């Protein structure tokens, strides 16, 4: 084992310790142990350090896979964009440690409110996203409302003897079925609904109805190019 390799292993183990992860089981330095270390580091690189949710990198990769799946299969998929309302006020009033407690509590509530197959990610400071594959339009608002109510009714312990409640605003959009779209366009449509929820007073859900979902000019061009390619196969 070279000095450089030993140094890299030491840094990797320090990283695991800082994240609260235990080293892999087995004989240190063995192939099985090294593979376990690599697998743990890969998982760690896709997780948000504070909440344990998927991070932005993992979210963007999953979003790309999901929009490709919807284009091929035609199955519905819902993207929810969520913001903790007035989060700056929490930090300014109670301090950043209290803000961290709020984010961790919200993350846990989101995980408990959706299916194991759904991906929950922290994509910004107080911003979260949820990808819900195979989610029918008739259930979209029901799911989002369940999430919103769960947060609204949840007391958050921010210090011994001190609890607060927070709310979230939620915007959602369904991926265009049978259309070759892009992750950016899907996120923009969900974000537009999130802005609507905020503008109407926060602690609200706004879901883009699939019946009036508009395919953008960029999406139409992508669909046209895909059709041309298939015609010449």
List active site positions.
Answer: 126
Retrieve residue 119's tokens: 């991906």
Contacts 24+ apart (CB under 8 A), 10-17: 12/37, 12/41, 13/37, 15/41, 15/44, 16/40, 16/41, 16/44
Considering only CA atoms, which of 166, 179, 168, 169 is closest in space to residue 213? 179
CB-count burial class (<10 Å; 0-12, 13-18, 19+) for 78: buried
Cα gap 161→200, rounded to integer Å: 33
Cα gap 182→223, rounded to integer Å: 11
Contact 192, 198 (CB under 8 A): no
Cα gap 160→57, rounded to integer Å: 35
Cα gap 175→5, rounded to integer Å: 45
């Amino acid at each position: 084992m070279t000095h450089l390799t030993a140094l890299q292993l030491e840094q990797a183990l320090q990283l695991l310790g800082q994240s609260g992860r235990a080293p892999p089981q087995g004989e240190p330095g063995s192939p099985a142990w090294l593979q376990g270390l690599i697998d743990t580091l890969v998982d760690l690189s896709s997780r948000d350090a504070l909440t344990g949710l998927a991070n932005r990198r993992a979210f963007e990769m999953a979003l790309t896979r999901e929009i490709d799946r919807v284009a091929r299969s035609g199955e519905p998929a819902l993207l929810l964009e969520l913001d903790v309302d007035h989060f700056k006020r929490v930090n300014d009033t109670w301090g950043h440690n209290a803000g961290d407690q709020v984010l961790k509590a919200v993350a846990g509530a989101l995980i408990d409110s959706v299916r194991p197959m759904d991906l929950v990610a922290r994509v910004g400071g107080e911003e979260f996203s949820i990808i819900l594959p195979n989610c029918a339009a008739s259930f979209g608002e029901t799911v989002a409302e369940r999430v919103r109510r769960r947060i609204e009714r949840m007391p958050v312990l921010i210090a011994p003897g001190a609890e607060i409640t927070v709310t979230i605003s939620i915007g959602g959009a369904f991926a265009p079925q049978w259309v070759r779209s892009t992750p950016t366009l899907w996120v923009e449509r969900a974000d537009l609904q999130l802005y609507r929820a905020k503008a109407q007073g926060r602690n609200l859900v706004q879901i883009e109805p699939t019946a009036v979902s508009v395919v953008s000019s960029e999406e139409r061009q992508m669909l046209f190019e895909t059709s041309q390619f298939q015609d010449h196969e």
